[in-house]
Homo-oligomer: A and B are copies of this chain.
Amino acid sequence: MRARDSLQISQFHVHIASYNNFPTAAGLASSASGFAALVASLAALYKLPANASELSVIARQGSGSACRSLFGGFVAWEMGSNPDGSDSFAVQIAPKGHWPEMHALICVVSDSKKGTSSTAGMQRTVETSPLLEYRTKEVVPARQKRIIEAIKAKDFNTFANITMQDSNQFHAVALDTDPPIFYMNDTSRAIIAVIVEYNRASLASGHGIKAAYTFDAGPNAVIYALDGNMRQIVNLIQYYFPQSVPFNDPFQLFSEAPGTLVLPDGFNLAVAKRAEVGAVSRLIHTRVGGGPRVLDDSEALLDTSGLPSELPSK
């Protein structure tokens, strides 16, 4: 009877209402989250027996990185080898609760330049970058293997080094595209300079690497750090990139408003100039989350007649 049920359900016509609370077209994976939600919702509605990796093959067609967003926790995107991409899917490396100390600080960077969409950009890179194939075949597989091991072993040093090196190499092949693609801007560069100096000072005083930056297809930085170092990092970023909006402090790093800058030992303040207010427009402090969830009817975006209810205001 299940097969019969599925068949009937699959003939449903559907109304789809979609709402995304993340900045769109900012290189912050908003299309990944949207396509993952769409595929997960339809799979739930149609009661598809597929597992998340199978669904990820479908989600990938909307936006490459959507395949990862079908899972919570730490997720790897397996490149696959079939030319049609049918074996390119995502797998969960570790669940959401595996490494609870791992936090992320998203620095939303203002950019006057109209960006290149990540999907269109990657297509042009594939067509024109002489370095891309070497990166894909010779560099990425070994790095992916090593970072998966580092995540499983909760080895922050290795995780951070590979994260930064691979972010840089992704942007290197973007720049090797014809015409070249620049996702990062001077503010992004300055964030890198601050994190590089923060790690240098930490290593020089006998500690390990404390932070890792990564940039997706846009100027915004994501800084990974263990929770114990996040207060110092927020402090540093706010010193160099003052914002007009107060820091929304979801993990209560600061009992009061972030005040005096307490410098890490040996940190060289001259490594970057203080930016004008708003170069980083806001900070989002978050950590590893769960995957798509089916919400209950009280949170539906469609009303009982099947039409969109009022959208939440931004």
CB within 8 Å of B: which residues of A? 112-113, 130-131, 134-135, 138-139, 161, 164-165, 168-169, 171-173, 175-180, 182, 185-186, 189, 192-193, 196, 272-273
Contact A130 B169 (CB under 8 A): yes
In this complex, what residue of B is CB-closest to A185?
B186
Contact B176 A112 (CB under 8 A): no
For A189, the chain B residues whose CB sits under 8 A away are: 113, 182, 185
Q: What distance in Å separates the Cβ of A236 from its nearest Cβ neighbour in chain B?
A: 16
- A251-B209 Cα distance, complex, nearest whole Å: 55
For A169, the chain B residues whose CB sits under 8 A away are: 130-131, 175-176
For A112, the chain B residues whose CB sits under 8 A away are: 273
Secondary structure at the A interface, as helix, strand, loop or mixed, is: helix
- A161-B130 Cα distance, complex, nearest whole Å: 14
In this complex, what residue of B is CB-closest to A171?
B175
**Given the contacts A180-B192, A185-B186, A186-B186, A131 and B168 also touching, CB distance less than 8 Å:** no
- A285-B113 Cα distance, complex, nearest whole Å: 28
For A171, the chain B residues whose CB sits under 8 A away are: 175
Contact B176 A172 (CB under 8 A): yes
For A192, the chain B residues whose CB sits under 8 A away are: 179-180, 182
Contact pick for A134, options B131, B185, B196, CB 8 Å:
B131
- A134-B164 Cα distance, complex, nearest whole Å: 21
Give the top 8 A-B pairs by smallest Cβ distance, nearest first: A172-B172, A172-B176, A172-B175, A179-B196, A134-B134, A168-B180, A186-B186, A130-B139
- A193-B178 Cα distance, complex, nearest whole Å: 12
In this complex, what residue of B is CB-closest to A112?
B273
For A178, the chain B residues whose CB sits under 8 A away are: 161, 164-165, 168
For A179, the chain B residues whose CB sits under 8 A away are: 164, 192, 196
For A177, the chain B residues whose CB sits under 8 A away are: 168
Q: What distance in Å separates the Cβ of A289 from its nearest Cβ neighbour in chain B?
A: 29
Q: What distance in Å separates the Cβ of A312 from its nearest Cβ neighbour in chain B?
A: 33
